[in-house]
Amino acid sequence: MKTAAIQKEELIYLRIANNIEHKINNEVIKLGDKLPSIREMCREHGVSMSSALQAYYVLEGKGLIESRPQSGYYVCYSNKRFPKKPETTQPVYSTEVQDTETIINKVYAEIGTKKNTNFALGVPAAGLLPVAKLNKALTHAIRSLDGGTEYGLIQGNEKLRRQIARGSFTWGGKLDEDDIVSTAGCMNALSFCLLSLVQRGDTIAVESPVYFGILQLAQSLGLNVMELATNPTTGVEIEALKKALQTKKIKLCLLISNFNNPLGSCMPDEHKREVVKLMEKYNVPLIEDDLYGDVYFGNHRPKCCKTYDESGIVLWCGSVSKTLAPGYRVGWVAPGKFKEKIIKTKRYHSVSASEITQEAIGDFLENGRYENHLRKLRHTLHCNSMQYMRCISEYFPSDTKVSHPQGGFIQWVELNKKINSIKLYELAVQQKISFAPGSMFTLQKQYNNCLRLSYGLDWNEKVENALKMLGRLAKGML
Amino acid sequence: MKTAAIQKEELIYLRIANNIEHKINNEVIKLGDKLPSIREMCREHGVSMSSALQAYYVLEGKGLIESRPQSGYYVCYSNKRFPKKPETTQPVYSTEVQDTETIINKVYAEIGTKKNTNFALGVPAAGLLPVAKLNKALTHAIRSLDGGTEYGLIQGNEKLRRQIARGSFTWGGKLDEDDIVSTAGCMNALSFCLLSLVQRGDTIAVESPVYFGILQLAQSLGLNVMELATNPTTGVEIEALKKALQTKKIKLCLLISNFNNPLGSCMPDEHKREVVKLMEKYNVPLIEDDLYGDVYFGNHRPKCCKTYDESGIVLWCGSVSKTLAPGYRVGWVAPGKFKEKIIKTKRYHSVSASEITQEAIGDFLENGRYENHLRKLRHTLHCNSMQYMRCISEYFPSDTKVSHPQGGFIQWVELNKKINSIKLYELAVQQKISFAPGSMFTLQKQYNNCLRLSYGLDWNEKVENALKMLGRLAKGML
């Protein structure tokens, strides 16, 4: 356990680092400027050598400063240099849908090739996961469940549900354990929601671009998908949603509210409140996929649409697949007024979920290990995202646009319209680099010049070189 | 590890026990007869005291003989006294279906009440499962997978699939690991098959009576269900199946081929072959639910329809939920020519299955522990089934009929038509006894005088008394 003194120390160096970052971004300290020496820092802030050094390490990790041998630290980057963000998407809606299966299968097949630098997979690299501590939690779970060989409750393991409910307080969720149904991962939660609430031929509304797994699931169930205009910062356009609802065709809405995959957007509180009001007005259920909400780079966990849900119309879904253990298949849904339906669907399709992994995650959360782990993970991913931003601005064609996500794993890159990202993908694979081409994220003919990059990798020279190569390949296509 | 000598010893006492059982059933030794003393047995068969004693213990476990203090062993029961079997069912088929939800929910709610003697749940009691050995396998899996936190292959854990494939040789399966897709339990396998192959409004054919979970899943997917005449010994009536297929309405057939739930029937090899031929002729896929096939009481594992499947039209489904660990949620399907469809459905609805429990089961199977465990489990369940048979013949109304399953966990009891088993259930629950009323196993108005008993419980006086009470309550309703 960390002592209070060490925790205070941590806060100090982060405060100093944030302070300097702010000055760099506002050009109070300019590119190329030399920063005070460690000794000067200690004097100036009244802190230890270690705190001063830590502060510089943080800034170095984000790619904002660099150390020059026998000289000191210099500002080498500022977010003024960030590439521009893409505009709000203007999705088309035609009933004639494109075949995304081929490219998705191609990308999936490459994922198995472990030697590639893989920007295609939206999960943290194994090195970022607390494997040893999770193993302990599993061993503990085996003991406390006496093996976990018996069927668990259909609604799900109680310890897990209690911890998810407790965690909901960080986003104003007011859930209790009885409000939650466990699932085998978040896609399984979305599947249960769709199986419970819509039928073949129904139309659902989603953001555009949207995670391809959602499109494939919807198509396999015979659903029509309406893709809505979405802003890379603030998420789905409220006006677009309103218009879709007014047509009365929409039977259900599915949104990734926080650090959307693939756009990286995070809906502001006001938008979330507004969306819930609209859902209530038109009596349309909202599936809220909140898979990335815990991985925020700012000071606070973003709220959810569920935060503003008084009538139970929001089905809030999540999992630990993006933060702890994809292979455990532990997810959940707080289905509001649709709880009984969801429990039935779960019973019909899978009886119950694996007891032992649920208990292990419940245990991990109960002991505060999750919060400790997340603090490190967020910091690492935040640094990674800034390194990517720097590399894209340095190596990619100058008219490249990229989303500025404030959390999650994923950047959305918009290249010059002349560049077809499937062709770029094919060139990249020859260089042992993989990413997700933009056309995977829509059923319409669009986003052919876009791509999704995951920054959930361990940052190192190989990754920087891969981004450099990708930039060079893109330039070559102009 | 057992030595060869000990294994031979085991075979000897079982051979002696079987020999005596045969004589009892053929009335060579009659009810009330005194059996040879242990000393005489040793002389007669040239075996050790321990083998002779073991043989009598086996017969005592089956309720065929009893020991009288200071006197010896006497024959107290013979299968000549077994109650009659029910006739082949004659299911009606009307499109107007009955509501089974209410009674199913009632029975499910009672299952939580641990103090009840629970004949309703079709799984082995926790005491019959090799929990300590499974825990070891889990711990081993944590090590060999390095935590199992990463996504596994979508098709499923390789070690598990290899072992399932290897096991298929016991029923002439000729599968290899690439033929198998893992699932989160057997219901999940059935769900993936139905989601992949049929659509709302399609008609599927099943046995009648049929496991209620299958009916609920089918209804929730908007399928029509045609229930087919089924014999309590030989399973689905081939003629009834043929007639249904000739109507061309059947899109898919789902059969529990071995030790059917709830009828206990096991299709003879010839019927299995015939069914596969019919499926091929009418080009209708067969989902074969082989959940109980490993729990046979005879000398050989029964074959499957899949054994005779040359064209890949059979989707063979199984799990370890009835033999090892319901709570692990490990199942599988060998989907024949529908493999790619099933893998896609799995990917869409749940990405992959829990890696750690799959690996643990793979490990357990690999080390031959499964076969060792099954040998004991089969023996226990066989003894239990005979004890139930004896109790039903002793305590239930004399016109009670009961299936004579040669494997599995489940007996189907047909009472006098005047007895409504839902009313009987309500009386039983007041006496802290639970079972599954017959009307749960059909969508039509039938089987109201039937009930399903599970003998997967630890056999003891409490269980005998509960059966006695059930018989008394039934008699009281005449």
The predicted-structure confidence for B154-189, as pLDDT tens digits, reads as follows 999 999 999 999 999 999 999 999 999 999 999 999
CA distance A349 to chain B (A): 5
CB contact (8 A) between residue B187 and residue A326: no
CA distance B250 to chain A (A): 20
For B112, name the nearest residue in chain A, comparing CA atoms only. Answer: A153
Domain borders along chain A are: 4-80, 81-127+372-476, 132-370
Q: Same CATH topology for A4-80 and A81-127+372-476? A: no
Query: B198 contacts in A (CB within 8 Å)?
Result: none
pLDDT of residue A259: 97
Nearest to B453 by CA among B419, B472, B428, B478: B428
Strands (E), B305-409: 314-319, 331-334, 401-402
Chain A with chain B: Cβ pairs closer than 8 A? 166
pLDDT, one tens digit per residue, over A357-411 is 999 999 999 988 999 999 999 999 999 999 999 999 999 999 999 999 999 999 9
* Beta-bridge mates of residue B334: B316
In CATH, what is the architecture of A81-127+372-476? Alpha-Beta Complex (3.90)
**Under DSSP, is residue A96 helix (H, G, I), strand (E, B) or coil?**
coil
Question: Which H helix or E strand runs over A332?
Answer: strand A331-334
Q: Would you tell me the crossing angle of helices A4-25 and A38-45 to the nearest 10 degrees? A: 110
For B212, name the nearest residue in chain A, comparing CA atoms only. Answer: A348
CA distance A96 to chain B (A): 22
pLDDT of residue B88: 93
Residue A141 CA to residue B241 CA, distance in Å, equals 47
Residue B37 CA to residue B34 CA, distance in Å, equals 9
Nearest to A105 by CA among B195, B347, B334, B176: B347
Q: What would the two tokens of residue A101 be? A: 């299966």
Phi, psi of B223 (to 5 degrees): -90, 150
Query: B345 contacts in A (CB within 8 Å)?
Result: 220
CB contact (8 A) between residue A350 and residue B146: no
Residue B211 CA to residue B213 CA, distance in Å, equals 6
Q: What is the ipTM of this complex?
A: 0.90
For A218, name the nearest residue in chain B, comparing CA atoms only. Answer: B348
Q: What would the two tokens of residue A74 be? A: 């210099």
pLDDT of residue B240: 97
CATH 1.10.10.10 at B4-80, yes or no? yes
- The answer to whether A324 touches A347, Cβ cutoff 8 Å, is no
- The answer to whether B323 touches B377, Cβ cutoff 8 Å, is yes
The share of chain B scoring above pLDDT 70, in percent, equals 97
CB contact (8 A) between residue B327 and residue A200: no
For B331, name the nearest residue in chain A, comparing CA atoms only. Answer: A350
Give the class (CATH, top level) of B132-369.
Answer: alpha beta
CATH superfamily of B82-127+371-476: Aspartate Aminotransferase, domain 1 (3.90.1150.10)
| Residue A282: count of CB within 10 angstroms of its CB | 16
CB contact (8 A) between residue A126 and residue B142: no
pLDDT, one tens digit per residue, over B4-29 is 666 666 678 888 888 888 888 888 88
Using CB atoms, pick whichever of B326, B351, B356 lies closest to residue A187: B351
Question: Which H helix or E strand runs over B68?
Answer: strand B65-68
CA distance A128 to chain B (A): 11
Query: A135 contacts in B (CB within 8 Å)?
Result: 142, 147
**In angstroms, what CA-CA distances link A374 with A295, A368, A377, B7?**
7, 10, 5, 54
Query: B326 contacts in A (CB within 8 Å)?
Result: 149-151, 351
CB contact (8 A) between residue A350 and residue B123: no
- pLDDT exceeds cutoff 70 at A2: no
Residue B127 CA to residue B192 CA, distance in Å, equals 31
pLDDT, one tens digit per residue, over B24-70 is 888 888 878 888 988 888 998 888 888 888 888 888 888 888 888 88
pLDDT of residue B62: 84
Best of A151, A183, A343, A440 to mutate (most B CBs within 10 Å, chain B): A151
- pLDDT exceeds cutoff 80 at A7: no
pLDDT of residue B1: 45
CB contact (8 A) between residue A138 and residue B135: no
Q: What is the mean pLDDT of chain A?
A: 92
pLDDT, one tens digit per residue, over B391-424 is 999 999 999 999 999 999 999 999 999 999 999 9
| Range scoring the smallest mean pLDDT among A67-76, B259-268, B400-409 | A67-76
For B213, name the nearest residue in chain A, comparing CA atoms only. Answer: A348
For B351, name the nearest residue in chain A, comparing CA atoms only. Answer: A187
Query: A200 contacts in B (CB within 8 Å)?
Result: 199-200
One CATH from 1.20.120.420, 1.10.730.10, 3.90.226.10, 3.40.640.10 for A132-370: 3.40.640.10
- The answer to whether B79 touches B25, Cβ cutoff 8 Å, is yes
Using CB atoms, pick whichever of A134, A151, A355 lies closest to residue B147: A134
For A139, name the nearest residue in chain B, comparing CA atoms only. Answer: B139
- Please give the residue that has the higher pLDDT: either B400 or B78: B400
Residues B345-367 have a mean pLDDT of: 94
